[in-house]
Chains A and B, each alone.
Chain A
Amino acid sequence: MGMLFLIVEDDKQIRKFINFSLRSQDYNCIEAATGKEAMKCISTKDPAAIILDLGLPDMDGIDIIKQVREFSNIPIVVVSARDQDNEKVEALDAGADDYLTKPFSINELLARIRVVLRHSSSNKKEEASVVYKVADLEINLEKHKVTIEGQEIHFTPMEYNVLTLLVRNSGKVLTHKYILKKVWGSYLDSDVQSLRVFMANIRRKLEKNPAKPRYVFTEVGIGYRFTEE
C-alpha cells in the first residue's frame, strides 16, 4: 500500500467518494468526521497528507491548521463549501498548502494532492532542479535567465523574484500576502494593487495572449498560481 492520507470531513458521502478515489490511485486512507478525531489521527497515525474540510461540527478547520503547523509541515489541502474568499485566504495564510471549493472534481483533487506531495518531497531534497522547463518556457534559476522558444526575455529584478517564487511553487496557489511578504518583506493591503501591476507586466512578457494565460493563473480575490506541468 502507498501513502496514508487523512480525510477530515463531516459529510459521510463526500468522505466516502474521496476515500474511494484515493484508493483507486493506490493511496491508503483514514477518515475523521470531527476535529477532535482528526487531531488524534494526526498525532498517532502520522499521515502523509491531510484533506481538510473547513466546516467541521466541533471546531474551526483554521484552528486545526494552526495547531498542526506548530509541530508539522505535513501537506494540507483544504476543501470547503464556504464561498467566502477571506476564509480560504485565512486558511492558506495559516499554513494550508492549497484549497478546493466544493464542488470539485476528483481529478482536480488528485492533481492538487500530487502537487503538494511533490513540493513536500522536493523540500526535503533541497531544490533539486536548477532549470525549470514547462512548454516553451525555460527558467534557469542559477543563471537568472528566462527564455521562451529560445528567446531570452528580460525581467526587472522584482519581476524576476515574483516569477521565481511562483515557479518554485508551481501548481500551488500563493496568496497576495504570501507573495508580498516573500518578495517585498512586508505586507500592506494597499500593496496588493502594485502586485497586480507587477503581475500584469509579467503576464505581458510571458504570455502570448495575457487574457488566455498559459503559465500564470489568477485566483480572483485570493492570489496566483503557476501552471503545474
Chain B
Amino acid sequence: MLKSFSKTLVVNLLITFSLNVLATVLSLLIQHFGFTEVNFVVVYILSVLLTSRYTKGYVYGIIASVLSMLSFNFFFTEPKYTFNVNDTTYIFTFMVILLAAILTSALTSKLIYSKELADKRKEQAQTLYRITSSLTKPGGIIDVAAVSVKCLADLFGCTVIFIVINNKDNTVQEIAPSVSGYGTTMKTLNADKIKTIVKEHYSFPIIVRENYAGYVCLPMRLKEMKKENQFLLDSVIMQITIAVQREILTAEKESAKAETERERFKSNLLRAISHDLRTPLTGIVGSAEMLLQNLKDQENIKFVQDIFEDSGWLIRLVENILNLTRIQEGRLAINIQSEAVEEVVAEAVNRVSKHAPNHNIAVSIPNDVVFVPMDGRLIRQVLINLIDNAIKHTTPSENINVSVRLVNKRVCFEVSDSGTGINPEDLPKIFDMFFIVPNYHTDAKPGIGLGLSICKAIIDFHEGEIMAENNREKGATFRFFLNI
C-alpha cells in the first residue's frame, strides 16, 4: 500500500516538474522570437491545467501554480534569474497567475474526481447487474449458492463460503469453491460447525420470512473495506437473498403441487375401487338376503346370515370411503346448504334403526326448527357412524341418546350411550386415521377407526369441532358442534 502510494507521489511530482520545465522552455523559446509577456502567462496556466489533468488530487495543481509563478518571476522579470522584482506592478501579475492557476487546477481536479466517481459507480452497477442476471438463471437453492460463491469470489478476490440451511428437512450444506479453483464443493454440516464458521468469518445471514435460510461467509479482512465496496456488498447480499427467497417459494409451490397430485391420485383410486366394489357387494347382499328367506336348514341359514351381515358391513365401509374421497376432493364435490337439523337427525336414526331394530334410540331436538349450513348427506353420515358406534358398544337393553341443542350460537349434536365406554388410553387417538382399538375382540367387527376419522374429517371440513369422552357413570359420549 505504502509503496504504491510513494510511487504515485513520485510519478505525480515528476509530471508536475516536467510540465513546469516544459512551459519554461516554451516561454523562453517564444521570448526569443519576441512575443510579449502575456503569452508566457498563458503558457504557464496551460501547464497548470495539464498538471491537474494528469495528476491525482489538487495538491499537485497548487504546487504547479506556485512553481509557475516562481518560474515566471525567476526567468522573465527584471532582474532575471533572481526571485527579486524591480517593477512592483509584477507582484500583481504574480498574484493573478497564482490565482488563475489555483482556480484552474481546483476545477480540473474536481472534474476528474467526479468522472472517476461516475466510472466507479458505473462499474459497480455493471457488477451488480452481472451478479443479478447470473442469479436469475439457477434452478434450486444449491445452484443459487454456487453462483453466489463464484460471483463474490470474483468480485472481492477471496474465498467465500455459503451455508445453506434447509428448514424443511433440517439439513445444512456448505458450499465453497473447490481447491482447484473451479466449481464448488459441498458438504453437510452440524449446528456447532455452523456457529464456528459464522463466527470466524465476516458473515451475513440470509433471512427469508423470519427464518434463517443460510449464511454468506466472507474472510474477516473484508470487514474494513471502502464505503462504496460496502455498499456493493450489501446490494449483492440483498440480491442473493431475493434469489434464495425465490427458489424457496418455487420449491414450496412445486412440492404443494406434487402433494395435491398425489392426493388426487389416491382419492381417485379409492373412489374407483369403492365404486367397483359396490356393484358386486350389492349382488352378494341381495343374493344372501334372498337365500335367507328361502333356506330351511338352520345351519345353512347361519352361514348365509354371516355372509349377509359381513357384506353389509363391507358396504357401509365402502360408503364411508366414498364420503372420505368426497371430502378430500374439496369444495366442488360438497354441497353446503341450509338444512333443518331435525330432518338430518331423523333420517340418520331411521337408517341405523333398520340395521339394529332391537336397540332403542332416544332422540331429542330443540322445540324450534334450527337451520344449519352443511352438507346434509355428510352430516347424516357422521351421525350414522356415531350411532353405529354406540350400537356396537351397547346391548339392546342399554340406552342410546341422540340430542341436539343450541350452545352459544352453535349447534351441539350429542350421541351418548351407557355401554362399555372408551379405554382412556385410546381416547386421544380415537379420531386418528385408521386407528383401531388394539385389544378389540377378534370376533367383533373392526373398523371403528375409519368411521370416526371420517367423522372428524367431515366436521373439520365444516369448521366445526368434534370430541369424545367417557361418561361419569357408564358409557361414552361423542359430541360435535356446527356453526349456525
Contact = CB atoms under 8 A, between A and B. Distances in A.
Interface in A156-206: 193, 196-197, 199-201, 203
Contacts, number: 110
A102 B380 contact: no
Interface stretch (A16-24, A119-127, A140-148): A16-24
Contact of B286 (A103, A193, A200, A218): A103
Interface of B: 275, 278-287, 289-290, 293-294, 312, 315, 319, 322, 335, 337-340, 342-347, 349-350, 361, 363-365, 369, 371, 376-377, 380, 402, 404
Contact of B346 (A13, A197, A201, A217): A217
Interface centre among A21, A199, A217, A221 (most CB of B within 10 A): A221
A200 B279 contact: no
Closest 4 CB pairs of A and B: A13-B283, A200-B369, A218-B343, A211-B363
Nearest to B275: A81
A64 B365 CA distance: 42
Given A24-B293, A211-B345, A212-B346, 7 more contacts: A11-B279, A13-B284, A102-B279, A199-B340, A210-B346, A212-B350, A221-B335
Given A14-B279, A81-B275, A196-B340, A220 B377 contact: yes
Contacts of B338: 193, 196
A219 interface: yes
13 contacts: A13-B280, A13-B284, A14-B283, A81-B278, A83-B319, A104-B282, A105-B286, A105-B289, A193-B338, A196-B371, A200-B369, A210-B342, A220-B376
B328 to A, nearest CB: 15
Interface residues of A, number: 35
Contacts of B361: 212
Contact of A106 (B278, B284, B286, B347): B286
A213 B283 contact: no
A202 to B, nearest CB: 11
B335 A103 contact: no
A103 B290 CA distance: 14
Interface string A96-130: 00000011111100000000000000000000000
A26 interface: no
Nearest to A103: B282
B280 A211 contact: no
A201 B340 CA distance: 12
Contact of A17 (B286, B343, B371): B286
Interface centre among B278, B286, B364, B371 (most CB of A within 10 A): B286
A2 to B, nearest CB: 18
B369 A196 contact: yes
A46 interface: no
Nearest to B285: A103
Interface string A21-35: 100100000000000
A168 B283 CA distance: 33
Nearest to A195: B340
Contact of A81 (B279, B340, B343, B404): B279
A193 B371 CA distance: 9
Given A24-B290, A193-B338, A193-B371, A199 B275 contact: no
A17 B291 CA distance: 10
Contacts of B293: 24, 106
B247 to A, nearest CB: 43
B350 A217 contact: yes
A174 B364 CA distance: 26
A186 to B, nearest CB: 20
Contacts of A201: 369
